[in-house]
Amino acid sequence: MSLLTDVQLPAVQLAGVSKSYRGAAGPVPVLCEVSLGFPQRALTAVMGPSGSGKTTLLNCAAGLDKPDRGKVLLGDTDLVACDERQLTEVRRDRVGFVFQQFNLLPMLDAYENVALPLRLQGRRVKRDRIMEALREVGLADKAGRRPAQLSGGQQQRVAIARTLVAEPEIVFADEPTGSLDRSTGRQVMALLRGVVDRAARTVVMVTHDPAVAACADRVVFLSDGEVVGRLDHPTADAVAQQLSTWER
Ligand SMILES: Nc1ncnc2c1ncn2[C@@H]1O[C@H](COP(=O)(O)OP(=O)(O)OP(=O)(O)O)[C@@H](O)[C@H]1O
């Protein structure tokens, strides 16, 4: 398991991040002065009640959405100060995404889906590298299959291989097990855990499931757009207990 220390330089640091959406009766605050860091080479889970701002937080941390105020530092790049062109480069070259619905391209086979980020980056696609990425997720023998010919868990593993092949500084996963049954979800989490432990990568994921969050090194709890708690080296029971405090 990764070492967690407060002096460890975070992969992404949010400082005083606030965000509102426009509602019928004026702005609706979704994130309120959020300050936190996501440690390098660790798996951090973000949890909280529905509507507490988890996806918005993830999107702001990943440069997919812009806060109204505050700083989001990816290394020493402030994403809030970036223009659209710079943000496109950050999304393409420095961060990776894993989504609940896998988001694979249906007309491409697993190999071509994994090769896609390198093609988009204009990099040379080496067959060995793509096959190695597929091997890492246990799917080298399924390289020629299209998404519709793969199970949900296999599709999510292809999506993880596609993310890793571009070697992002940080991987953001929004409910990566949300569409999977419990046992398939466990396999996907073991894979993400290995990505952190063996490949020394940084992963930040949103989840509703205490058993999934228990795979993380740290859990950050959000409620009404504020960070209200943190648990290091969590167990499923401790997570469920904390959650019940805000979900009552
Ligand atoms: N584009 C948008 N426009 C207006 N309101 C939005 C928008 N995106 C999110 N919201 C609102 O912001 C709040 C937080 O949404 P967010 O998706 O970040 O929460 P969440 O904690 O991820 O929720 P869930 O667990 O249900 O996915 C919600 O009340 C949501 O309705």
pLDDT in tens, the chain (248 residues): 555 555 567 999 999 999 999 999 899 999 999 999 999 999 999 999 999 999 999 999 999 999 999 999 999 899 999 999 999 999 999 999 999 999 999 999 999 999 999 998 888 889 999 999 999 999 999 999 999 999 999 999 999 999 999 999 999 999 999 999 999 999 999 999 998 998 889 999 999 999 999 999 999 999 999 999 999 999 999 999 998 887 65
**Which two tokens mark 123?**
């990099």
How far apart are alpha carbons 173 and 171 in whole angstroms? 6
If one residue of 47, 55, 206, 221 were mutated to test the ligand 1 pocket, choosing by the most ligand atoms within 8 A of its CB, it would be 55
How far apart are alpha carbons 69 and 168 in whole angstroms? 26
Pocket of ligand 1 (CB under 6 A): 21, 30, 48, 50-56
Token pair 């894979």: residue: 191
